[in-house]
Structure 1
Amino acid sequence: MPQPPKQLDASASPREWFGAELRHWRKNVAGLSLQQLAAKAHVSREVIRRIEVGDYNCRLETAIALDRALNTGGFLERGWGHAFGDNKSHRDDNFRAAAPSPGAVTPLRGRMLATQAPTAQGSNEPVDRRSFLAVPGLAALAATPGASRLLSPAQPTQLPAEIRPHDIQELIEAATFLSRLDHQYGGDGIVKQTASTAMMWAEDLLHISCPPALRQGLFAAVAHLGIVVGASNFDALAHQDARQTFRFAAACAEEAKEWHLRAKTYSLLARQAIWTNEPDDGLTFAELGLARADRLTATERAMLHAARARAFARMGEVQQTLSAVGEADDAFAHARPDEDPPWMAYYDEAQHNGDTAHALYDLALHGHDPTRAARRLSAAVKGHGDRYARSRVLSRTKLASLVMATGDPNHAADIGHQALSEAGHLHSRRAAADIRELGRLAGKHPTNGNATSLRERVTATVPV
């Protein structure tokens, strides 16, 4: 006979409070069984059960997935730091645990994958700010530590009294300009500083009066800029800033009902998670991006399937990697650039070859045939023009590393020297990290003079 659910004392501990809240949202608001919630959130039934009984250290990404499945407006993410955060980077000292909310949350009509955010009892948040933060997703972001704004301005700026069409156009042009600089020179240095200033301005615009007819365009423009700024932070390996900015961009894209921007944001979140060796999270983000894939262009689907392939490869799932590469290729074969939004222009044949090659590269380093990865990396190097200099350096460095690990170290050294010569003008910590990896692989050939020469140049160019 089934055991009755454990009765939790929400005041006994932050963990039991969190479990009680999750059970309330699941049963009383959403009316879901454990199995139904597990299917919606892509979280195992046992994990959810253990969270509810206060017997599991819930991960932040799991809390976010449960928020989305239950349409809480980010309540669990806001409470995660109170219940499980173990340091100041995770804990929200201003969060106050409240008793479970008595009523259901009413979805906002037409809103994309989001609902109105509930307000915890005991909140000391000013009423005017709470009104702004009723925007779903933005509320969850703003309740995280240090998120009342992403950055603090050096000096006050003069904002318009009301949003005008040319304010939105300025945001679009700023995003386009910064994206070009990022691709050509890398995201660190002056690009990162300029992007951060532009993001502060964009955040401030969301706090002022906006005519209803312009509201959707404003949120879409801020989402676009947030994607560019997040990508710059990612390239500078400022991972916390990148994640926060990507989530902000995703919230704005959903508020604008902009599926294309949303897909791009989740693609970047996936790539960052894979880069930081969190491939399971990367796969989740990629698959979230593919939600309602029928609304995406073939190019966008190829981009997201390539991210899935990279996640599977990092997890060592050979057949699933190859299958995802095949799905990416099939989607890209149907790509029509005239159907793509302007910010997808970068994802051409060279980019597709480079992205899928990264997945095949991981397989090759674990003993699988390196031929396909080498062929795609070579095509990417040839296809990337000067406008995408950073991508060319990344692909050339990966090609040199692949050959150094699986082939002729002399040939690898020649390719590596070319990559180093090109990398000199970049401000990209990602590229520097890949070059260090090349130096490490060259160090495995201590008796080869060309490999040794390359390793010494790597050390001189990008010291540890």
Structure 2
Amino acid sequence: MGGTQEKQPNAQLTSWFVRSGWSKGELARQVNRRARQLGAHHVSTDTSRVRRWLDGEQPREPIPRIMSELFSERFGCVVPVEDLGLRSAHQPAAGGDVDLPWAGPQTVQLISEFSRSDLMLGRRGFLGASLALSAGPALIEPMQRWLVPTNGPLGTADQDGPLLSAPRDTAGRPSRLSEQELQLLESTTVMFREWDNQCGGGLRRKAVVGQLHEVTDLLQEPQSEHVARRLYRITADLAALAGWMSYDVGLQPTAQKYLVLALHAAKEAGDRPLGAFILSSMSRQMIHLNRPDDALELIHLAQYGSRDTATATTQAMLHSLEARAYANMGQVNKCHRAVRMAEDTWTDSRPDEDPSWISFFNEAELNAENAHSYRDLAYVAGRSPAYASLAHPVMERAVELFSDDAVHQRAYALNLVGLATVHLLQESPEQAAHFTDRAITVAKRVRSERVNTRIRKTTQSAVRDYGGVAEVVALADRLSVELPEVAESA
């Protein structure tokens, strides 16, 4: 007797949905809003459609990817499509979005194609619909190949790091680029970083992607080996910045892809300190996504790969991120040791010797990272007042230093929120509301969805625990009026 197989309820999706606290209507609205941001204007869902998904109906792309991103953001960890009980139209192989060939021409081509697609599609996050976040071995194992020399007929030894794959047909050929033009490209990258620190990733991201695409065009032309190395370094720096800006506005898969491509370009440049910096950005993303084990693996890879070449400032930054990873893993003694290493190494810092990309890591940032490590320990230890008291003076010092810094406005806002969370841990809701209110004022000048999200989460925590406190009520009212719910086009 023939018949159709009856659909089974999607228990996995139902579990995530119930824990999210969303209603069916809220999930439908979020899916529609994200779809419009992706340019998928054909998507129009409602509560009845959500009910059918929970009952076992399989939605078509890009909805599985959209829901993966929404639940990942909601829970602060990677929630793959498969964990939602959904099927994607195209399931990439493990590591498929990050396990790329370590060779110069392929790296240039991949960056050129990816940046062109980002520019042409034009809609915020559209690339995220065709990308999947990689984590665990699928991410770590491909990144370990950063340390493996690329032996081959085009390879030339680099005394400072890996081998450089020379561009085609460049032997003895003079470069079309002058020294002045190369310096201008390098200084433009520095300017973009300053804009990012001051204005957030949402304002200039596409300008950085456009500049990146232009530089890859130059790398596809005949260049001398010396010029090619500098162009690869500029490419790595720009791709890392494009990745960081994408992360800042909430485009997590796009951010990861840019950072992976940046690491490939840094290897071609033979610049291991820059590669270590790129790995540190990937580590920050993993901490944000509640993957501290992956974050620690990436930091250790960065430390090992740059141990003889990185400046004291870069080493201090890596130690501070190591402490953040240990804190989120609940490894108290190792966290304390990494904090001390960061502080001790910082005393040897010589800013005049530092590359431009590490200029953000100053005394304020050192205090901020260490304070967040103690704050994270407090949360992991069940809102421990002892660790909160350790975090408090260090976070106050970071806020004090950032308040006099006209450039690092995003960091200022983030640390105002950080201080607010410490006050919540210490059961001081009035002070928590005060510093969150100050953060909103700064956030309105900074286009950073990361800042906005942290402000919302901190406010929600304050309302949940201290909803009757007048200052908390006023904060919630101001947030609903003045802070936009979703960042505009990146």
Scaled to the shorter chain, the TM-score interval is 0.5 to 0.7
- Asked if the contact 2:323/2:336 (under 8 Å) is kept, the reply is yes
Q: 2:142 is matched by which residue type in structure 1? A: I
Structure 2 CA distance for partners of 1:222 and 1:167, relative to 1, 3 Å: farther
Amino acid in the other structure paired with 1:440 = Q
TM-score of the two chains, using structure 1 as the length reference? 0.67
Q: Please list, as runs of the form range in 1=range in 2, the aligned pairs for 1:331-346 lying within 5 A after superposition.
A: 331-346=345-360
Change beyond 3 A, Cα 1:327–1:372: same
Q: Structure 1 residues 394-403 or 190-199, which shifts more?
A: 190-199
Structure 2 stretches of 5 or more lacking a match?
A: 1-90, 96-134, 169-173
Distance 1:399 1:270 in 2: 23
Q: CA–CA distance in 2 between the matches of 1:432 and 1:65?
A: 31
Answer whether contact 1:106 1:115 (CA < 8 A) is retained.
no
Q: 2 CA distance for matches of 1:326 and 1:206?
A: 42
Amino acid at match of 2:475: L
* CA gap 1:284/1:440 in 2 versus in 1, 3 angstroms: same
Percent identical among aligned pairs is 25
Mean alpha-carbon deviation: is it higher for 391-400 or for 366-375? 366-375
The answer for the alignment partner of 2:157 in structure 1 is: 110
Aligned length: 343
Q: Residue in 2 aligned with 1:402?
A: 422
**Conserved? CA contact 2:420–2:436, under 8 Å:** yes
> For residues 216 and 420 of structure 1, do their structure 2 counterparts lie closer, same or farther at Cα, with a shift above 3 Å needed?
same
Residues 390 and 431 of structure 1 are in contact (CA less than 8 Å); yes or no, is this contact kept in structure 2?
A: yes
Residues 195, 229 of structure 1: 8 Å contact kept: yes
The answer to whether the 8 A contact 1:235-1:430 is kept is yes
Structure 1 residues 338, 65: CA separation in 2 closer, same or farther (over 3 Å shift)?
Answer: closer
The alpha carbon displacement at 1:457 in A equals 2.3
Change (3 A) 1:462 1:450: same
- 1:369 and 2:387 are equivalent in the alignment: yes
Aligned to 1:136: none
Conservation of the 8 A alpha-carbon contact between 2:199 and 2:446: yes
Matched, 1:223 2:236: yes
1:412 maps to a residue whose letter is A
Contact 1:417–1:454 at 8 Å: present in 2 too? yes
Partner of 1:262: 275
Equivalent position to 2:209, from 196, 203, 206:
196
Distance in 2 (alpha carbons) for counterparts of 1:17 and 1:172: 36
The within-5 A match list for 1:175-214 is 175-188=189-202, 190-214=203-227
Q: How far off is 1:374 after superposition?
A: 1.5
SS at match of 2:340: helix
1:201-240 residue CA offsets vs partner (Å, 9 max, x unmatched): 1222221111223122121122222222222111112122
Q: Cα 1:132–1:217, aligned 2, differ >3 Å: closer, same or farther?
A: closer
Amino acid at match of 1:237: G
The alignment status of 1:382 with 2:400, answered yes or no, reads yes
User: Do the aligned residues in 2 keep the contact of 1:72 with 1:105 (CA within 8 Å)?
Assistant: no
After superposition, where does 1:92-103 map in structure 2 within 5 Å?
A: none
Whether the aligned pair in 1 keeps the contact of 2:233 and 2:271 (CA below 8 Å) is yes
CA-CA distance at 1:63 after TM superposition:
3.5
Residue 309 in 1 paired to residue 323 in 2?
yes
TM-score by length of 2: 0.64
**How many Å apart are 1:329 and its aligned residue?**
0.9
* 3-state DSSP of counterpart to 2:270: coil
> Match for 1:392: what amino acid?
Y
- CA RMSD across the alignment: 3.1
Q: Offset at 1:415?
A: 1.4
Structure 1: segments with no counterpart, 5+ residues: 1-13, 19-56, 74-103, 118-130, 134-159
State yes or no: 1:423 paired with 2:470: no
Alignment partner, residue 22 of structure 1: none
Alignment of 1:58-207 (within 5 A): 59-65=137-143, 67=145, 71=148, 108-111=155-158, 114=162, 162-188=176-202, 190-207=203-220
Aligned to 1:349: 363
> 1:397 touches 1:419 (CA, 8 Å); kept in 2?
yes
Distance, in Å, in 1 between the alignment partners of 2:225 and 2:371 is: 45
Secondary structure of 1:351's aligned partner: helix
Contact 2:219–2:228 (8 Å) recurs in 1: no
Q: Which has the higher contact order (CA 8 A, sep 6+)?
A: 2
Q: Give me the whole-angstrom Cα distance separating, in 2, the residues matched to 1:220 and 1:68.
A: 15
Query: Which amino acid in the other structure matches residue 469 of structure 2?
Result: N
Q: Is the 8 A contact 2:263 2:278 kept in 1?
A: yes
What is the alpha-carbon distance in structure 2 between the residues aligned to residue 173 and residue 106 of structure 1? 34
Q: 2:413 aligns with which of 370, 393, 401?
A: 393
Equivalent-residue separation in structure 2 for 1:214 and 1:249 (angstroms): 18
- Are 1:309 and 1:359, in contact at CA under 8 Å, matched by a contact in 2? yes
| Counterpart residue identity of residue 442, structure 2 | E
- State the alpha-carbon separation in 2 of the partners of residues 295 and 454 from structure 1: 47
The one-letter code matched in structure 2 to 1:168 is: L
Distance 1:58 1:176, change over 3 A: closer
Match of 2:262 in 1: 249
Write the deviation string for residues 297-320 of structure 1: whole angstroms up to 9, x where unpaired: 111111001111111111122221
- Give the superposition deviation at 1:168: 2.3
Q: 1:114 to 1:408 in 2, by over 3 A?
A: same
1:318-369 deviations in Å (ceiling 9; x for gaps): 2211111111111112212122123322211001111221111111223142
Separation in structure 2 between the aligned mates of residue 390 and residue 359 of structure 1, nearest angstrom? 19
**Partner SS state of residue 208, structure 2:** helix
